[in-house]
Homo-oligomer: A and B are copies of this chain.
C-alpha cells in the first residue's frame, strides 16, 4: 500500500540547515555538509542528469526511495526560495533548472494561486488549499507509489503534526552545525511518538527509519 514518506539529512546535533540561512545561502553556514554524502551516489546523480557515481549501500537506499515515490510535496520556499505574490518572485520558475530531478508530479504548497508549470517531465502544481488538499492530490497522482514530503522543515513538521506521515527516513550525518534550523523545533513531543523500524549504517551516514505511531 502506498505510504506518505519523509526523508531528510540531519546533523548529529539535530539541524537540517546551518545558522544564518538567507536567500543566497539557503542551507546556512556549513549546511551543505549535510548533503555531501549524497552527491557522489549513482542513484542521486542519474535523476539529476549527471554521469558516474558510486554504487554502495547509500546509493541503493536512495534508489529505493526515489523509485518508490510517485509524487512529491514541497513548500513554496523549497520550490523557489521566495514568498509573496508570484509576480514579485525573482525566482518564480523555481530553482530546479530546466530538467528538475523529480520526474513525477510535484505539489507546491503556497498561498498564491498559479497555473501548473511543466519543466521537462516534471509538472509543478500549486496548491493553495492546505496540506490535506495537497496530500489528496498527490496521492491520486502517485497511484500505487508513495507520496514523498520533500520539505522544508516547517512543511515536514506540519505533516508530522497532522499525522499524515507513515514513514520518516532520517539520514544522520556525522557533523555538528552548532545552530540553524532544528528539524523538530516547536513540535510537541506529545504529538509525535515514533517506532524505529529500520537502521542501515553505511560508510559515513546512518539511515534510520521511523514509523510515527498513529495513537500519538
**Total contacting residues, chain A, CB less than 8 A:** 34
Measured in the bound complex, the distance between the Cα atoms of B199 and A192 in whole Å is 25
* B residues near A119, Cβ cutoff 8 Å: none
Contact: A194 with B176, CB < 8 Å? yes
Contact: B174 with A172, CB < 8 Å? no
Report A178-205 residues with CB < 8 Å from chain B CB.
178, 182-185, 187-189, 192-196, 198-205
* B residues near A177, Cβ cutoff 8 Å: 189
Contact: B205 with A196, CB < 8 Å? yes
Contact: B175 with A194, CB < 8 Å? yes
Contact: B201 with A175, CB < 8 Å? no
Contact: B175 with A208, CB < 8 Å? no
Contact: B189 with A174, CB < 8 Å? no
* B residues near A14, Cβ cutoff 8 Å: 12-14, 182
Q: Known interface pairs A13-B182, A182-B13. Does A174 touch B196 (Cβ–Cβ under 8 Å)?
A: yes
- Closest Cβ of chain B to A149, distance in Å, is 17
A206 within 8 A of B: yes
Report A1-48 residues with CB < 8 Å from chain B CB.
12-14, 30
Measured in the bound complex, the distance between the Cα atoms of B182 and A203 in whole Å is 26
| Closest residue of B by beta carbon distance from A203 | B196
A170 within 8 A of B: yes
A79 within 8 A of B: no
- Closest Cβ of chain B to A178, distance in Å, is 4
Measured in the bound complex, the distance between the Cα atoms of B206 and A178 in whole Å is 22
Excluding A14-B14, A176-B194, 10 further A-B contacts by CB distance (< 8 Å) are: A13-B182, A14-B182, A30-B189, A172-B208, A174-B194, A176-B184, A176-B187, A178-B184, A199-B199, A206-B208
- 7 A-B pairs (CB sep. < 8 Å): A172-B172, A174-B210, A175-B189, A175-B194, A176-B184, A176-B189, A199-B201
